[in-house]
Structure 1
Amino acid sequence: MLTSLEGSMTESMEAQFTGLSAEHLMQWAAEEFGDSLAVSTSFGIQSAVTLHMATQIMPNVPVIWVDTGYLHEETYQYATTLTRRLGLNLKVYESALSPSQMESRLGRLWESENLEDLNKYDQIRKVEPMNRALAELNVHGWVSGLRADQTDFRKHLPPIKRTGTRYRIYPILEWTTRDVYRYQQQHHLPQHPLFEQGYATVGDYHSSRPLSTTDDTERNTRFRGMKQECGLHT
């Protein structure tokens, strides 16, 4: 029986969640946070897994999707497919600046070789809309499909992490790509259309590419390998 979160997250409590199955961790999050729980999604390659798992337990859980305005056409198609298939309670958030407004004021930031420009792009198109979503929806428990084997930062994450008054829950943190694939097959979940074109991870169309034999990590296929995190989780 897992203890309710009262006060700060301690190391002993973090250890309590380590090794817990994804389904049990999701169930605990639903019971712990109730109406203040939300799931975020990018409708990326592995998104169906976390969305399916969450909606099996909480069918009407809010699903936050930050639409950057630069996603692949296939991602928009996939979003429609999963929303209908899983009956998602989808909450779409966007930057206050439209793509054309941002480009006219700041240029095509994603083309820059300056890391500060790439970070500014992510702040405008992803981080600010997500922070607004979490505040407006009064989210205290945030479920995300991060995996430890994706980046150096993520490999050191605990399954539950406190940030201020909000808790981040990572049910499939210890899963591998094979685990994701098996779950999708077991539950007959549709695959992202770009998976068959060699994409291991997919974000904006201008900053994502298929996995090549020279890539040592999936995340190197994003932003020309200049950065691994967009700022949403750091």
Structure 2
Amino acid sequence: MNAELIQQWNAELRDRHPRDIVRWALQRAEGRAVVSTNFRPYEAVLLHLCVQELPDIPVLWVDHGFNRPATYRHAEELRRLLNLNLHIYHPKLSAAHYQALHGPPPGPEDEEGLRRFSALMKLEPFQRGIRELAPRVWLTALRKVQNPHRAGLDVVVWDENFKLLKVSPVFHWSDADMEAYLRQHNLPNEWDYFDPAKADEKRECGLHARWGSQVLSS
């Protein structure tokens, strides 16, 4: 993908409303778009934006089996409310199977353990989902305020891990912007969320970091 073209697109989209960015992305997808979610806080914003423009857009969710009960309830609430075309992918090991073999998910001090956990329980099923759904464009809820790594990204990037165009319509939105959208459209939110593949919010699980491609190809 031409880096200058991506830079041009980002300049054009910098001040556009996320709704317009979703439309822009769908036009370039030529019928092959997917939106990913983990049902973390504020995910309802992007999901609502996407289904307003393409009601049957495939929604890719990797359920690694370690989500908290509130996250599962929130996922079901949004599935019903937005009539999501939800495609759920699971790891080849269940959570119980993983813990019987390896113990509980690693803590934040075990970087290598977290990467192994992420590769097995999150990256492999996500890669499988991308392979089967075969999108040209991947819509995500990444925002620059989420962590230092994401602050260095942009609305449009070429994703080296999965070899497709990745578009983040709410990239420049603040928490206040997201809250306002939820209120405007009467959408639910949920805060009891934890991702064991990251262990803290400053770390990436591998989906959006370059090391992900290394473990996927190993």
For this structure pair, what is the TM-score category when the shorter chain's length is used for normalisation?
Answer: 0.7 to 0.9
Q: Give the aligned partner of residue 56 of structure 1.
A: 52
Question: What 5-or-longer segments of structure 2 have no aligned partner?
Answer: 210-218
**Is residue 2:194 matched to residue 1:203?**
yes
Q: Give the aligned partner of residue 175 of structure 1.
A: 173
State the TM-score, normalizing by the size of structure 1.
Answer: 0.81
Q: Contact 2:108 / 2:200 at 8 angstroms: preserved in 1?
A: no
State the TM-score, normalizing by the size of structure 2.
Answer: 0.87
Cα distance in 2 for partners of 1:113, 1:158 equals: 29
Q: Contact 1:144 / 1:170 at 8 angstroms: preserved in 2?
A: yes
Residues 1:77 and 1:20: Cα distance change in structure 2 (over 3 Å):
same
Shift of 1:148: 0.2
Cα distance in 1 for partners of 2:28, 2:107 equals: 43
Cα distance in 1 for partners of 2:80, 2:115 equals: 33
1:116-135 correspondence runs (5 A):
116-135=112-131
Shift of 1:100: 2.2
Give 1:230's aligned amino acid: C
Cα distance in 1 for partners of 2:140, 2:29 equals: 14
1:69-101 Cα offsets, whole Å, 9 max, x none, are 010111111111100000000000011111122
Q: Pick 1 or 2: higher relative contact order, CA cutoff 8 A, min separation 6.
A: 2
Cα distance in 1 for partners of 2:53, 2:108 equals: 43
Cα distance in 2 for partners of 1:161, 1:61 equals: 20
Shift of 1:9: 4.0
Question: Secondary structure at the residue paired with 1:85?
Answer: helix
1:152-167 correspondence runs (5 A):
152-164=148-160, 165-167=163-165
Shift of 1:182: 0.2
Shift of 1:118: 1.1
Shift of 1:158: 1.5
Q: Give the aligned partner of residue 105 of structure 2.
A: 109
How many residues are matched?
A: 205
1:44-74 Cα offsets, whole Å, 9 max, x none, are 1111000000000000000001101010111
Query: Percent identity, aligned pairs only?
Result: 30
Shift of 1:26: 0.3
Q: Give the aligned partner of residue 26 of structure 2.
A: 30
Q: Contact 2:108 / 2:199 at 8 angstroms: preserved in 1?
A: no
